Amino acid sequence: MDRNVGRKVAGVLGGLVFTASLVACSGGAGQAEGKSGQDLTPLTIMMSSTSCANSYAAYVALEEGYFADAGLDVTIEAGDGSASNLQSMFANKVQVGNPSPSSVLAAQAEGNDVTLFYNARPHGVVWLVSPKENGFTSAKDMKGKRIGVGTADGGEVAFTRAMLVAEGLEPDDFEFITVGEGGQAVAGFSRGDIDAYAGDPFDVATIEQGLEVTDLTSKKTGHLFGNGLAATTEYFEENQELLGDLGRAFKQGVVAGAEDPSLVIEACRKHSPQEVEDEKYAKRIVELSAEAYTPNDGSSYGEFIDANVELLFDDLVASDWVDPGQVSPDEAFNSDLVEAFNN
């Protein structure tokens, strides 16, 4: 296994070829004006998952009119991992992305200015699961094992590596195998290609449809937070009010979808109908996503906890993901707009 894969993430961006089909959706003519009849500002946001239910906050905010109420005419694109998000931001194809903190640090280490300004997943976004029949009981059992992931350059690689190092393993003690998302992970298990899988709520809920699994996610890395809302540093500095409004509407989508999953079902029925044909399955994705979206005790929506940022950075350094001499977490994570998100 290449121990320097983390440092190569940003290098991949320049040569990345889009193989996933990006589904763009916007409010359409009905959202040309906000509540007070004001003209709306167009903005494109790319989520890191192809799953609508996994990224439900944005879709609920769109369909319930929260973005429009904030003066924004939002178009959502469904990306495929953090690399596509970062590349699209740097190419000015989207104004806001949804990358993982590990990929943002790797991109900054390569000299790219990008800022995570909304901590969307304070409780992380990566679960490590294995079929119950394998007999594994903890993350420590991954020594010498093969772990499936959706993409080679996604945040799940960095987070899982940090998790296993925290459990006492070395980065060379395990191997990551790219098998794809959701149903492709189930196929990976069936073929015997992988022993466990590291993925997000969409992946876990899909695997649970076909297999009885054991959750191996370590409690030692509960401080790891997941994908957030990000923009190039220049765009962030020049559009503070707009991004504050965006984050507030996004937060409204988080809360509304958690309180009433039927809002998610209806939003996704429009944008990803096949995903909600089985409502029990879709609601399981929402349940896991809502758990990850929930702020830490004593913190606000969108806020980065300084202690957790420090611990995450230390974990990524210990697992050879980043070089502490190349990047500072203070430059990557910014909580200046938290008050605007929560007004």
Q: What is the pLDDT of residue 36?
A: 57
pLDDT tens-place string over residues 214-268? 999 988 878 889 899 999 999 999 999 999 999 999 999 999 999 999 999 999 9
In eight-state DSSP terms, residue 277 is S
Q: What is the pLDDT of residue 130?
A: 97
| CA–CA separation, 37 and 208 (whole Å) | 46
Q: What is the pLDDT of residue 28?
A: 42
The alpha carbon torsion through 75, 80, 82, 84 (nearest 10 deg) reads -70
pLDDT tens-place string over residues 160-193? 998 999 899 999 999 999 999 888 999 999 999 9
Residue 26 has pLDDT above 60, yes or no: no
CA Rg, the chain, in Å? Answer: 19
Give me the CATH code for the 5-123+225-341 domain, please: 3.40.190.10
Residue 337 has pLDDT above 90, yes or no: yes
Task: Please list, residue by residue across 96-132, b when 16 or more beta carbons sit within 10 angstroms of its beta carbon and e when fewer do.
Answer: bbbbbbbbbbbbbbbebbbbbbbbbbbebbbbbbbbe
Q: What is the pLDDT of residue 35?
A: 60
Residue 17 has pLDDT above 80, yes or no: no
Residue 9 has pLDDT above 70, yes or no: no
The rounded mean pLDDT for the chain is 87
List, by residue range, all CATH 3.40.190.10 domains of the chain: 5-123+225-341, 127-215
pLDDT tens-place string over residues 38-85? 799 999 999 988 899 999 999 999 999 999 999 999 999 998 888 889
> What stretch of H or E contains 226?
none
Which whole number is the average pLDDT over 3-29? Answer: 38
Residue 15 has pLDDT above 90, yes or no: no
Which whole number is the average pLDDT over 208-214? Answer: 92
Q: What is the pLDDT of residue 318?
A: 85
Q: Where are the beta strands (DSSP E) in 181-335?
A: 196-199, 213-215, 229-232
pLDDT tens-place string over residues 287-333? 989 999 999 888 999 999 999 999 889 888 888 888 888 888 988 99
Q: What is the pLDDT of residue 276?
A: 94
Q: Strand 196-199 to strand 146-149: parallel, antiparallel, or no bridges (unpaired)?
A: parallel
**Residues near 114 by Cβ (< 8 Å), separated by ≥ 6?**
86, 89, 90, 99, 104, 107, 108, 230, 231, 232, 233, 332
Q: What is the pLDDT of residue 12?
A: 31
CATH architecture of 127-215: 3-Layer(aba) Sandwich (3.40)
Lowest-confidence range among 22-26, 35-39, 81-85, 197-201?
22-26
Lowest-confidence range among 32-41, 96-105, 234-243, 263-272?
32-41
Q: Where are the beta strands (DSSP E) in 172-260?
A: 175-178, 196-199, 213-215, 229-232
Q: Which pTM does this prediction carry?
A: 0.81
Query: Looking at this protein, which amino acid is placed at residue 66?
Result: Y
Query: Are 164 and 234 a contacting pair, CB within 8 Å?
Result: no
Query: Are 104 and 188 a contacting pair, CB within 8 Å?
Result: no
Residue 23 has pLDDT above 70, yes or no: no
| CA–CA separation, 125 and 174 (whole Å) | 20
| Range list of H helices, 70-136 | 82-90, 101-109
List C-alpha distances in Å: 285 to 76, 204, 263, 270, 289. Answer: 19, 8, 14, 17, 6
Residue 25 has pLDDT above 60, yes or no: no
Q: Which of 39, 37, 89, 136 is CA-nearest to residue 231? A: 89
Q: What is the pLDDT of residue 30?
A: 39
pLDDT tens-place string over residues 109-143? 999 999 999 999 998 878 999 999 999 999 999 99
Q: Which of 169, 206, 157 is CA-nearest to residue 186? A: 206
